[in-house]
Structure 1
Amino acid sequence: MLFSVLRRLHRSAMAWLRGWWRLLHFAVLIFSLALSPSTYGRAGRPALARQLVLATAPNLMWFTVLSALISLVLIRIVVVTALSYGLSRYALEMVVRVLVLELIPLTAALFVALRITLPDGIEFAQMRASGALDALQRQGADLLHREFFPRVAAGVFAVWMLAAVSCVLTLVLAYLSIYGFTPWALQGYTRVVGQVFNPAVSLILALKIGFFSFAVGLIPMASSFYADGAAGRRQRLPGTHGLSDMLRLFSVILLIEIASLMGNYY
């Protein structure tokens, strides 16, 4: 009994280590392609441009509207709460820290993961299990360059674009909600925002969005890239592959968020 338990634990630990090792190997391959000028040649540009547009354009408007509505509600709550406690001078700083530094990058990463990269990863896993990807490889298709890299790049770019547009929009909405349609408060507003976005905080925000985008782009695709184990995946439930990638992705996002909070406030 004890031997069987230890054997199961050993198999689980080896599978866990193998999954992270494959993710690291896949990330190295993707970054190598990203740094190679031949990746952006005439043959690869159409597929890359198509995936960038498909991942960003349909979702940019919806996410921007959604983030604007949520931002307006949260800005109103923060302003009213600060006024009730006599802390109105801290309302703008709190809005910027809560929304721009924390909530919007996290929401953009989760939105892109649930809408784009996780469904793409499940689709590739199903193609791998059915043998479709193996058939393309036997025909000489470069799957990493033609299929995987454009989707990873699209997921990374979508997180950057959605986070950047929503952060700028939130800063504009914060000014209008607190000061109204007047240009006379712009100097004080820029001074407060500048005090929040000091060099250290700006660097942490950029790194957080970057790591979020890499996690969202890479993790759902990594386990679908490898051919071995396809027979075992055929025996799994259809949602098992997506669930394991989702748990891994959310754990990485949580670690990145904790690290950014420690960098900003400790």
Structure 2
Amino acid sequence: MPASLALSPTPAPARGRLWRTLRQWWAVLLFGAVAAVYALSPSSHDARSRNATARLLHATSWQALPWFALLSALISLALIRTLVVTAQSYGLSQFALEMVVRVLLLELVPLGAALFLLLRVALAGDLLPQADPAGGLAPHALAAERWRLELLPRVLALGFAVLALATASGVLALLLAYTVVYGVTPWGLDSYTRMVGRVFDPAVCLALGLKTGLFAVAVAVVPLASALQEPYAAARRAAGFAVRSGTRRVLAVLVLLQAASLALKFL
């Protein structure tokens, strides 16, 4: 038989991996769609579901806020000081504060909040749901009771946590930027508020809100959907793999969203 006929153009293992990857991403999309349906259904928000959501909101937002605020303040202060000193050294002092606000609030704050929550999910196993005994069940085949009491509260808590931490970090960054440039004095408020208003025009606010919302959806949906795809029999020994797999997928989504945001901004 000729060698050209003996060789397959696409090896079977490669086709199998591609098909498995596509099925996994389809399961993630389906999980997000079913979660949206349950979130918009009034019957999903009974007393037990609200209590479960409140407990998870406390764990993901309130308990993480002090540590995130401290970390965000240290990183923001270092970046603000570096950008201001660099701009002054090149004679661009009049653009220093606007550059700080654009770099921090428009690019780094939403991404930092999403990465922090992703690390929180990866390190805290209690935020991930237990794999289904059958393994690989479609999200719409899961019991409605499990959606209301276990899955939907986690989706809502993680999504809200990204938005809350990004908002808190943004306000803190604005306060630190003002303090570094003007000091503890009210005399710079007039020019500072005019500059911030110039930066955050309606189009920029809409783009920032959309990007932060997509980050929140990615962090809330992808890790949970990935955890549900692991068979229950192998859950203990494959728990680390499930976390790493979900983390890689979220990182891929965040990188794509950030790249798309920068492309739309500068093209």
- Counting only pairs closer than 5 Å after superposition, residues 58-77 of structure 1 correspond to structure 2 as 58-77=63-82
Q: Which consecutive unaligned segments of at least 5 residues does structure 2 have?
A: 1-5, 138-142
CA contact (8 A) 1:152 1:217 kept: yes
Give, as a single letter, the amino acid of the residue that structure 1 aligns with 2:163.
W
Q: Which residue number in structure 2 is paired with residue 258 of structure 1? A: 259
| Shift in Å, 1:236 | 6.6
Q: Which residue number in structure 1 is paired with residue 201 of structure 2? A: 198
Partner SS, residue 128 of structure 1: coil
TM-aligned CA distance change 1:67 to 1:21, over 3 Å: same
Moved over 6 A (4+): 129-132
CA contact (8 A) 1:117 1:155 kept: no
CA contact (8 A) 2:87 2:95 kept: yes
| Shift in Å, 1:221 | 0.5
Q: Choose which of 35, 39, 44 in structure 2 pairs with 1:39.
A: 44
Q: Which residue number in structure 2 is paired with residue 159 of structure 1? A: 162
State the Cα deviation string for residues 235-254 of structure 1 (Å, max 9, x = none): 97542222221111101000
CA contact (8 A) 1:121 1:242 kept: no
Partner SS, residue 184 of structure 1: helix
Partner SS, residue 185 of structure 1: helix
| Shift in Å, 1:123 | 4.8
Q: Which residue number in structure 2 is paired with residue 172 of structure 1? A: 175
TM-aligned CA distance change 1:141 to 1:25, over 3 Å: closer
Q: Share of identical aligned residues, percent? A: 45
Q: Which consecutive unaligned segments of at least 5 residues does structure 1 have?
A: 135-139
Give, as a single letter, the amino acid of the residue that structure 2 aligns with 1:257.
Q
Give, as a single letter, the amino acid of the residue that structure 2 aligns with 1:87.
L
CA contact (8 A) 1:117 1:217 kept: no
Partner SS, residue 239 of structure 1: helix
| Shift in Å, 1:154 | 0.8
State the Cα deviation string for residues 135-181 of structure 1 (Å, max 9, x = none): xxxxx782222111111111101100100011011101111110112
CA contact (8 A) 2:122 2:247 kept: no
Give, as a single letter, the amino acid of the residue that structure 2 aligns with 1:142.
E
The answer to whether the aligner puts 1:92 opposite 2:117 as a matched pair is: no
TM-score (norm 1): 0.88
CA RMSD of aligned residues (A): 2.6
Partner SS, residue 47 of structure 2: coil
CA contact (8 A) 2:121 2:127 kept: no
How many residues matched?
Answer: 256
Q: Which residue number in structure 2 is paired with residue 137 of structure 1? A: none
Give, as a single letter, the amino acid of the residue that structure 2 aligns with 1:213.
A
Q: Which residue number in structure 1 is paired with residue 225 of structure 2? A: 222
The answer to whether the aligner puts 1:210 opposite 2:213 as a matched pair is: yes
TM-aligned CA distance change 1:35 to 1:238, over 3 Å: closer
CA contact (8 A) 2:132 2:228 kept: no
State the Cα deviation string for residues 193-217 of structure 1 (Å, max 9, x = none): 1111111111111011100000000
TM-score (norm 2): 0.87
TM-aligned CA distance change 1:234 to 1:38, over 3 Å: closer
Distance (Å, rounded) in 2 between the aligned partners of 1:131 and 1:54? 29
Distance (Å, rounded) in 2 between the aligned partners of 1:221 and 1:3? 37
Distance (Å, rounded) in 2 between the aligned partners of 1:34 and 1:237? 30
CA contact (8 A) 1:175 1:189 kept: yes
Give, as a single letter, the amino acid of the residue that structure 2 aligns with 1:95.
V
Distance (Å, rounded) in 2 between the aligned partners of 1:156 and 1:238? 23
TM-aligned CA distance change 1:122 to 1:86, over 3 Å: same
| Shift in Å, 1:233 | 4.6
| Shift in Å, 1:263 | 2.7
Give, as a single letter, the amino acid of the residue that structure 2 aligns with 1:187.
D
